[in-house]
Structure 1
């Protein structure tokens, strides 16, 4: 009897953990949005990565980032950039020191990101996929 009860409890816990991790993953998707015309092409993960690391991708887009301790930035770094925050900070320190590149404009939070993107043509930034977007912003890339 104890074995059956223990097995039932373990099975229930495993099911609960699996379901909760699936729910967490769906809320962790990132969208890259820009203030561009609707005929703008979509971007690949590599293009988004290059753009936020200072390279040109053939479009006049100006990246905007969230602060280093922001959860959405951490998700973006992991899912799109593919680098830890410390490596990204090191990269930008080197680029600034040598005068080659400057890091993206930085805003304090997601609300400021939306305001900045809405009021600046050609700006591009990232938000969680569950963020309600204004009509004038276009999704150019999504991690889902």
Structure 2
């Protein structure tokens, strides 16, 4: 029984890196300057309407999308309800507009390819077409 338990634990831990990779988020951009790299705070500012050193436009996935939930948790650090409340307040006061939302991950790639300066987020491991670059990765 002890050997069986040990083998099961080894088996489960052997899949940990692939599970972690599936939960990683990449931030992808269509920019003329392929050397742009952002830090976590800059990415958060970009998607929450803060000041940015570059002329970039954020796009987001719908609230129920799993990738968006991971992005909000790992980068923004707020729940979806808090983010929705923030954007409602910004719209009401006329100060900022929420990022444009697209349907799914394939729509993110299509939008990025056709709009220079656009930035979106995807799960790590998503094939990135030529012309786009990864500007931030979070595990």
Q: TM-score with structure 2 length normalisation?
A: 0.92
Q: Does 1:142 align with 2:137?
A: yes
CA RMSD of aligned residues (A): 1.4
- Counterpart of 2:91 in structure 1 is 96
Unaligned runs of 5+ in 1: 1-5
Q: Does 1:9 align with 2:18?
A: no
Q: Greater CA deviation, 114-123 or 81-90?
A: 81-90
* From 111, 123, 127, the counterpart of 1:128: 123
2:46 is aligned with 1:51: yes
Alignment of 1:10-89 (within 5 A): 10-89=5-84
Q: How far, CA to CA, are the matches of 2:11 and 2:79 in structure 1?
A: 30
Runs of 4+ in 1 over 3 A off after TM superposition: none
**Partners in 2 of 1:84 and 1:21 — Cα distance?**
26
The range that moved more, 88-97 or 116-125, is 88-97
Count of aligned pairs: 139
CA distance in 1, matches of 2:93, 2:41: 24
Q: TM-score, normalised by structure 1?
A: 0.89
What is the Cα deviation at residue 97 of structure 1? Answer: 1.7
1:126 & 1:140 partners in 2: Cα distance?
A: 10
SS of 1:124 mapped into structure 2: strand
After TM superposition, give the deviation of residue 30 of structure 1 in Å: 1.1
